[in-house]
Structure 1
């Protein structure tokens, strides 16, 4: 049953981002006692791209519209700021741009309305298994005890490796993000992907209401280009001063093989679980997917309907990991030979539609991978 004896709650969730808050909502909605522990005392700006397939709405009974700032209808690709490809996205695969801090806040608010207790300003320094329960300790000495724990504190989380969850060898993309006021020369409903300036990655520009989220990411090997140099070339092309904006450097965990995402009464979700797409850097859809999927299996486990949480790892392997295994192979070839990749991939007439279908979840990388990899390798010869 969900009612816990004494001070033991059903679930402690470490991290109130998209994945953690999604899990908190569904678990609280199912009647479990949930505490959502967040490190930041106040919402902070998250200038990540914020791209999200509209198809994620099906996982929530409340509208996500309040967090949606742009509906993308067109994608502009370029190679070294030239050789443009303009692609109209199909109407049946809409793509949203959200302001990340607003989405996280919306999900956390819905979790609280469903009955979860949200505790901000909580830096966790210990997560310990004690008998049949978990004990989570904050730096200020506060402690909570629960039957289950959800690790959802993002790419910088130390807990998956300490607790034997997720990949033993973490693969990261090196990123720099910046949020700018105003939209420069960018049109509403249009995103931009620039491939040539970053040899083993790409740069992106996603419009939000009254601004733009811009980023640079390197996806294989060490970052080979100074992101400030990339931005100094890209920003004027988008109608901004070369030195505009406050930059944030980061390390984004990307998918790196099939691994257990569950243990005894514990699961890891979102970026902490290394679920980010290793090719297109999509992180929001797998974050929300994993939070909802984890909540489903925890609900059944807490009620005694399943003996362990292995079904969560298996579900994420089927729903996400199998496609990402092919996505990783595509990334390894594409980003080693990006010029060839741009000509044979992005510039192919069907490529934009395929990218839209992958981002919307209508298609997986496995549906296109063998043809794409073969085409790239043959051309390289």
Structure 2
């Protein structure tokens, strides 16, 4: 496909940069100049600082313009604090953080509870999560309100967010750098939808959108109990995924916006991955002491949803299988609320759906090796 082929050509340069080599550089000065010119501008829109953000921040191929927080796994105020503190631990407090949407466009906690009473229990509800439906190896996270005070286990941030709303920051950056900004979104898409509604040029001015969200037909790949707990979520609901289900209306708005390119990293490739204790320790051992503290605090047993999105952006040659589809999301309140909708060329209803490269499988060992190299970069000479 044209999109993936284009990314493959970028990937060769990316890998060279990650390994500290640049082709056609005759002097150290030329190498530095070439590397600086090759940096790709990125905004990270997320619902909690973890490995994904650290990967992009530590990559020599990326100029992170800023982080924008959004409610999803956690409330936006908690995410903002995590982003600030995570950047401090990574030694990158120069990167601005803009606080984003606290609530979805339409969906609410009360509405979600009503939906569950009608159609069955959701496996994961993010900021609205009070308990697991059945015992799992993962602990239930503490339940907070949207305005509760924030105290982080890995220390509270000394820095403050910009004071500029996330949607406004996103709009300002794509106008400042038209055609240059990639948005890597790994949470609900409320901020992006607000930006698109505020400025109809927003999506068309960005270079591309890479997002983790949606679900097509995931299958259990790993054998252990923890992995099976999450893979079985898709047995009866293969089209449901949390980032979309938290704010389906936002996801539909973003899917119909006129992006130049869209890469979708759905739940499907994640069932072959897992944030195991062994992997966490491996990454912590090569990272800087501060970043190692953060890495060791991460929960284990979960698939590596967001890390796949960052890895595919950094090195598209990790993609083993993908498909070009038109994608949208169900916004009618009913049993399929928030489900993924998709069509091959010619079958889409023609209501503004955009074509997207949907990533189906990735090379997991190479992805883990990439993450390890990136974490090792945090040990500054």
* TM-score normalised by structure 1 residue count: 0.26
Between structure 1 and structure 2, the one with the greater Rg is 1
Question: Which one scores higher on RCO, CA 8 angstroms, separation ≥ 6?
Answer: 1
Q: Which has the higher helix share?
A: 2
TM-score (norm 2): 0.26
Structure with more strand by fraction: 1
